[in-house]
């Protein structure tokens, strides 16, 4: 029986493990968390729209009826290709075949000051942290001086991709419909939400029509959208822009880029732009015959995608399914991405959808976005909880999830 070790329980890693379940191989799934996280809805946790548990699903629950999947909750510190093993705090784990599906993390482009002070949103923990910061800032604003109050009310979102657009829209809806009722002593007309994008438009990877509409929707909600603008520095109080302007803000949400979650041990020659592993058409890492990489960590060049595939969930799921099929059937069929399209939501009744042969925006795009994301969430109970939350918010424009839950530290 061949032992296949999969590093990462995200979209790619989990899909590969499920496809290889009860396949005759011994499968080991390694992740630092004991749950799968549904990343597209992190922003709703951060803005008090959903509970963290509703977009997370226990990995052991997924494989309760599996006969060949073994789970280990730990981190991988090194890959040892010379003896076919990985190093973890639990000890070395041997493999016959290794699948790296570690995904990507936030890219601060080498700016240490921004990395220290800005808030990323690549995990449930970070989304919860952002929620705490946002709500605590409003509490602090009640007793702050006018100057301090403005900095506490200002929110800067960096990056005009789907994450930046969606979190900006959600914050704008909170400002309009929820926060004035929670904090009647504060004048939320003075609250400013800035979306800063270094490129010429929001949702730059989508169609021109969707890019234009997303900016229009955001501005309709009251978001200050500044394109072709760089964030130069942030010290925790002042955001410095490349054009010389400054913004006083205690909250900066960073969604400007991603970089591969690399693991030491793989040869430097295999690592390409974005800290990703260069793979061939069957997702085999260059220079190795039993190490594969799938999802955001992999860069596969094809005639159709000479710079690699987009780092989205669809590619991760497709590559995982394709690789699992090759491993089960002992085949080497090349992978080719079939573009399913892309989408983003800005707010209630406001979304943009690009399909291969059709683009549409507005109410039906918003319904399409909600339906697709609901179907992708793991677990019937989680789907139901998310649906009920969305339904409640639709009719009441409110939620009861604005809780400041901070980590517990025992005094000794």
98 pairs with which residues across the strands? 5, 291
CB 107 within 8 A of CB 260: no
* Within-domain flag for 393: no
The arithmetic mean of pLDDT across residues 59-76, rounded, is: 95
Closest CA to 401 of 155, 47, 43, 39: 47
16, 101: one domain: yes
> Per residue in 253-265, is it b (16+ CB within 10 Å) or e — as a string?
bbbbebbbbbbeb
26, 92: one domain: yes
CB 305 within 8 A of CB 283: no
Give the chain's domain count: 2
What's the pLDDT score for residue 392? 94
To 10 degrees, what angle do helices 313-329 and 11-20 make?
Answer: 30
Closest CA to 292 of 92, 88, 69, 8: 8
3-class secondary-structure state, position 194: strand
Per-residue confidence at 406, pLDDT binned at 50, 70, 90?
Answer: confident
* Within-domain flag for 224: yes
Q: Which domain holds residue 133?
A: 112-252
Last residue of a domain, one of 329, 359, 377: 329
271, 245: one domain: no
* Within-domain flag for 404: no
280-314 confidence digits (pLDDT tens): 999 999 999 999 999 999 999 999 999 999 999 99
178, 212: one domain: yes
244, 120: one domain: yes
102, 116: one domain: no
Please, which residues have CB within 8 angstroms of residue 120's CB and are 6 or more apart in sequence? 105, 106, 126, 254, 255
| For residue 91, pLDDT beyond 90 | yes
5 pairs with which residues across the strands? 28, 98
- CA–CA separation, 200 vs 284, rounded Å? 36
* Within-domain flag for 83: yes
100, 116: one domain: no
131-171 confidence digits (pLDDT tens): 999 999 999 999 999 889 999 999 999 999 999 999 999 99
Does this model's pTM top 0.85? yes
What's the pLDDT score for residue 399? 83
Per-residue confidence at 174, pLDDT binned at 50, 70, 90?
Answer: very high
Per-residue confidence at 408, pLDDT binned at 50, 70, 90?
Answer: confident
| For residue 412, pLDDT beyond 80 | no
* Within-domain flag for 385: no
Lowest mean pLDDT across 79-83, 245-249, 347-351, 396-400:
396-400
- CA–CA separation, 248 vs 338, rounded Å? 44
End-to-end CA gap in the chain = 50
| For residue 107, pLDDT beyond 90 | yes
Q: Is the dihedral of CA 292, 295, 298, 304 positive or negative?
A: positive
DSSP structure class, residue 297:
G
123, 239: one domain: yes
Q: What's the CATH code of the domain at 117? A: 3.50.50.60
What's the pLDDT score for residue 122? 93
Closest CA to 155 of 51, 37, 43, 40: 43
What's the pLDDT score for residue 409? 77
230-289 confidence digits (pLDDT tens): 999 999 999 999 999 999 999 999 999 899 999 999 988 899 989 999 999 999 999 999
Last residue of a domain, one of 229, 252, 275: 252
| For residue 64, pLDDT beyond 90 | yes
CB 121 within 8 A of CB 130: yes
| For residue 190, pLDDT beyond 90 | yes
| For residue 411, pLDDT beyond 90 | no
3-class secondary-structure state, position 312: coil
Other Cβ atoms less than 10 A from the Cβ of 325: the count is 13
| For residue 186, pLDDT beyond 90 | yes
Last residue of a domain, one of 232, 252, 272: 252
* Within-domain flag for 219: yes
């Amino acid at each position: 029986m061949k032992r296949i070790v999969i590093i990462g329980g995200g979209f790619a890693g989990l899909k590969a493990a499920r496809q290889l379940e009860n396949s005759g191989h011994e499968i080991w799934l390694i992740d630092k968390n004991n749950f799968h996280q549904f990343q597209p809805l992190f922003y709703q946790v951060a803005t008090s729209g959903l509970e963290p548990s509703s977009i997370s699903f226990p990995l052991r629950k997924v494989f309760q009826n599996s006969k060949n999947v073994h789970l280990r909750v730990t981190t991988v510190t090194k890959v040892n290709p010379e003896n076919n093993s990985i190093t973890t705090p639990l000890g070395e784990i041997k493999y016959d075949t290794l699948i790296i599906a570690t995904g990507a993390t936030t890219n601060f482009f080498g700016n240490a000051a921004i990395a220290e002070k800005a808030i990323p949103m690549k995990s449930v923990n970070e989304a919860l942290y952002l929620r705490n910061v946002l709500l605590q800032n409003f509490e602090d604003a009640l007793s702050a001086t006018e100057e301090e109050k403005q900095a506490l009310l200002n929110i800067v979102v960096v990056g005009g991709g789907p994450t930046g657009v969606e979190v900006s829209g959600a914050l704008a809806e909170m400002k309009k419909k929820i926060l004035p009722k929670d904090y009647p002593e504060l004048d939320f007309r003075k609250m400013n939400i800035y979306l800063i994008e270094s490129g010429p438009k929001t949702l730059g990877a989508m169609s021109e029509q969707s890019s234009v509409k997303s900016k229009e929707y955001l501005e309709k909600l009251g978001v200050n959208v500044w394109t072709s603008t760089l964030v130069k520095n942030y010290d925790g109080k002042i955001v410095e822009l490349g054009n010389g302007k400054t913004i006083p803000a205690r909250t900066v949400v960073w969604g400007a880029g991603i970089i591969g979650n690399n693991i030491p041990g793989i040869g430097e020659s295999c690592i390409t732009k974005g800290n990703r592993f260069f793979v061939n058409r069957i997702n085999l890492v260059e220079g190795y015959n039993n190490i594969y990489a799938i999802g955001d960590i992999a860069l596969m060049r094809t005639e159709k995608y000479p710079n690699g595939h987009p780092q989205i969930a669809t590619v991760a799921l497709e590559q995982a399914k394709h690789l699992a099929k090759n491993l089960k059937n002992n085949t080497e069929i090349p992978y080719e991405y079939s573009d399913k399209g892309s989408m983003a939501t800005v707010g209630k009744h406001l979304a943009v959808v690009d399909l291969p042969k059709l683009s549409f925006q507005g109410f039906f795009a918003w319904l399409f976005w909600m339906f697709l994301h609901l179907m992708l969430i793991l677990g019937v109970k989680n789907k139901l909880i998310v649906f009920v939350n969305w339904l409640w918010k639709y009719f009441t424009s409110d939620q009861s999830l604005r809780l400041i839950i901070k980590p517990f530290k025992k005094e000794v």
